[in-house]
């Protein structure tokens, strides 16, 4: 060998071997071709008592004196740092390959029995996150929303004293005033976009059936719901809207479809409820959570195919007064309440079969508005111990492929 040493890491085969690190503390790497050793790229962290796995052109080195948890990957030319071990240690054992390695035993300040498994991928995942957006002009709760993260629409609601007709438009950073609803109300539903919006149902001093259409500047009257109700959920577009659930004096399972001028009856929900979340389209809708008489917060999810509802996967957190966004097979549910008092920050993603817990809202709240998609959601206003004006923008997990060239063998 070119560098005299002991307690080094090793990998590879008899005709394509790899030696790295060692004592006295060195970062030297050498490659063996079956007869001679030649210098390779140096370790990023000089150390001894480390372990190795893999082959000469795809090796893994981990642990070492310190003790160290550092892990590095070798590509046949150079070493790069990757995820460290959980337990820092030296004089440990190693096995496996670069993308699926095993570390076991070793010495911390005492002998260790710890075993760790390393899994690597060419894909790097950036976790989902909520980030603060611009505050709404009017703090409120039990409002409705429509549109996207960069072209959102918020309307109606309650400011603790009065029902509101105020409409606000979001451009991805700030809210500005839009045209007022003709009927001030709360617990209404929304659908459509910022320039082609739909508002329906809700309560003034009585439960109403009113429908209004937005053109980007003003609201005009549309056809009334057949069944007046509050706490209704919405999905779809201005010319193909979907309204379902709600409260008439009792929980409702009614579904209605809007064609741009009139509502007609659709298939009933399996579970009558109100203050539920909605997402999707008229022919591929999604309803989740909500309030029933027997159980205040439910986890039930139902999928609509344009004529009938069928059961989907349950939410992980049963709740009501939550917001929804996205499509039937790529939905987002966030916020709400379990007990009618405290807002929750729980966020979940639906894949068409089941819900998975994602990054929580920064501000837990109930009776908030929502719109957008699963990967670009928008949550706004709502109630904590008071009405809030906060806006949060959701960015779904991003998977980045780090390899520039893929080959098969």
| Tens-digit pLDDT profile for residues 89-98 | 999 999 999 9
The answer to pTM > 0.85 is no
| pLDDT on residue 124 | 72
CA angle 332, 334, 340 (to 5 degrees): 145
| pLDDT on residue 408 | 66
**Structural domain boundaries of the chain?**
9-120, 129-395
Is domain 9-120 annotated with CATH 2.120.10.80? Answer: yes
Q: How far apart are the C-alpha atoms of 42 and 59, rounded to whole Å? A: 13
Q: How far apart are the C-alpha atoms of 140 and 138, rounded to whole Å? A: 6
Tens digit of pLDDT per residue, the chain (409 long)?
999 999 999 999 999 999 999 999 999 999 999 999 999 999 999 999 999 999 999 999 999 999 999 999 999 999 999 989 999 999 999 999 999 999 999 999 999 999 999 987 777 778 899 999 999 999 999 999 999 999 999 999 999 999 999 999 999 999 999 999 999 999 999 999 999 999 999 999 999 999 999 999 999 999 999 999 999 999 999 999 999 999 999 999 999 999 999 999 999 999 999 999 999 999 999 999 999 988 889 999 999 999 999 999 999 999 999 999 999 999 999 999 999 999 999 999 999 999 999 999 999 999 999 999 999 999 999 999 999 999 999 999 887 776 666 666 5
Q: Are strands 391-395 and 376-380 parallel, antiparallel or unpaired?
A: antiparallel
Largest Cα–Cα separation, the chain: 91
Q: Which DSSP letter does residue 328 get?
A: T
| pLDDT on residue 404 | 63
| One fold for 9-120 and 129-395 | yes
The CATH code of the domain at 129-395 is 2.120.10.80
Which residues does 143 contact at the CB level (< 8 Å), separation at least 6? 154, 155, 156, 157, 158, 164, 186, 188, 367, 368, 369, 381
């Amino acid at each position: 060998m070119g560098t005299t040493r002991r307690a080094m890491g090793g990998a590879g085969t008899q005709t394509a071997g790899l030696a790295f690190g060692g004592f006295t503390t060195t970062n030297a790497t050498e490659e063996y071709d079956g007869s001679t050793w030649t210098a390779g790229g140096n370790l990023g962290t000089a150390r001894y008592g480390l372990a190795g796995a893999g082959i000469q052109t795809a090796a893994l080195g981990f642990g070492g004196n310190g003790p160290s948890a550092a892990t590095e990957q070798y590509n046949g030319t150079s070493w790069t740092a990757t995820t460290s071990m959980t337990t820092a240690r030296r004089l440990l054992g190693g096995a496996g390959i670069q993308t699926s390695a095993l570390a076991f035993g070793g010495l911390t300040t005492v002998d260790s029995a710890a075993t760790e498994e390393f899994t690597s991928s060419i894909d790097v995942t950036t976790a989902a996150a909520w980030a603060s957006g611009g505050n709404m002009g009017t703090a409120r709760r039990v409002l409705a929303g429509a549109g996207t993260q960069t072209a959102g629409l918020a309307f109606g609601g309650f400011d603790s004293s009065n029902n509101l007709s105020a409409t606000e438009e979001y451009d991805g950073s700030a809210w500005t005033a839009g045209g007022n609803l003709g009927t001030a109300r709360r617990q209404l539903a929304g659908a459509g976009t910022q320039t082609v919006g739909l508002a329906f149902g809700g309560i003034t001093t009585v439960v109403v059936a009113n429908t209004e259409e937005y053109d980007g500047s003003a609201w005009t009257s549309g056809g009334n719901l057949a069944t007046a109700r509050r706490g209704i959920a919405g999905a779809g577009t201005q010319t193909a809207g979907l309204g379902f659930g709600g409260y008439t004096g009792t929980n409702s399972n009614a579904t209605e479809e809007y064609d741009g001028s009139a509502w007609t009856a659709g298939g009933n929900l399996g579970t009558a409820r109100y203050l539920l979340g909605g997402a999707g389209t008229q022919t591929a809708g999604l309803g989740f959570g909500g309030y029933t008489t027997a159980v205040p917060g439910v986890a039930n999810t139902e999928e609509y195919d344009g004529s009938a509802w069928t059961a989907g996967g349950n939410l992980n957190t049963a709740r009501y007064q939550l917001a929804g966004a996205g499509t039937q097979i790529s939905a987002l549910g966030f916020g709400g309440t379990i007990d009618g008092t405290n807002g929750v920050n729980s966020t979940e993603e639906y894949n068409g079969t089941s819900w998975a817990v994602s990054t929580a809202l920064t501000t837990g709240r109930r009776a908030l508005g929502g719109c957008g998609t699963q990967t670009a959601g928008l949550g706004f206003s709502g109630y904590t111990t008071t009405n809030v004006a906060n806006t949060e923008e959701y960015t779904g997990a991003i998977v980045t492929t780090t390899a520039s060239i893929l080959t098969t063998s």
